[in-house]
Amino acid sequence: MSRQLHFNLFLHDTGHHEASWRLPESDPYANLSLAAHQHLTRVAEEAKFDSVFLADSPVLWSDPGRRPSGKLEPTLLLASLAATTTRIGLIATASTSYNEPFNLARRFASLDHLSGGRAGWNIVTTAGEAAARNFGLDEQPQHRTRYERADEFLEVSTKLWDSWADDAILADKQAGVHAARDRVRSIDHHGTYFRVDGPLNVPRSPQGYPLLVQAGSSENGKEFAAKWAEAVFVAQPTLRESQDFYADLKRRAVAAGRDPDHVVILPGIVPVIGDTEAEARELDAELERLIAPEFAVATLATVLGVDADRLRLDEPLPADLPGEDEIEGHKSRRTLIVEWGRRENLTVRQLIGKLGGGRGHRTFTGTPVQIADTIQHYFENGAADGFNIMPAVLPSGIEAFAAKVVPILQERGLFRTEYTGRTLREHYGLPRPANRLELISR
Among 435, 281, 242, 263, which residue's Cα sits nearest to residue 370? 281
Q: Which residues contact 18 (CB under 8 A, 6 or more apart)?
A: 66, 67, 291, 295, 296, 356, 357
Q: Tell me which amino acid residue 223 is.
A: E
Residue type, 246: Y
Rounded CA separation 356/66 (Å): 12
CA nearest neighbour of 253 among 233, 231, 284: 231
Binding region for FMN: 56, 93, 143, 147, 217-218
Give φ, ψ of 308 to 5 degrees: -60, -30
> How many Å apart are CA 168 and CA 170, to the nearest integer?
6
Query: Crossing angle of helices 74-82/34-46, nearest 10°?
Result: 60
Alpha helices in 290-431 (DSSP H): 293-304, 331-343, 348-358, 368-380, 396-400, 406-411, 424-427
Q: Residues annotated as binding site?
A: 56, 93, 143, 147, 217-218
Cα 353 to Cα 233: distance, rounded to the nearest angstrom: 23
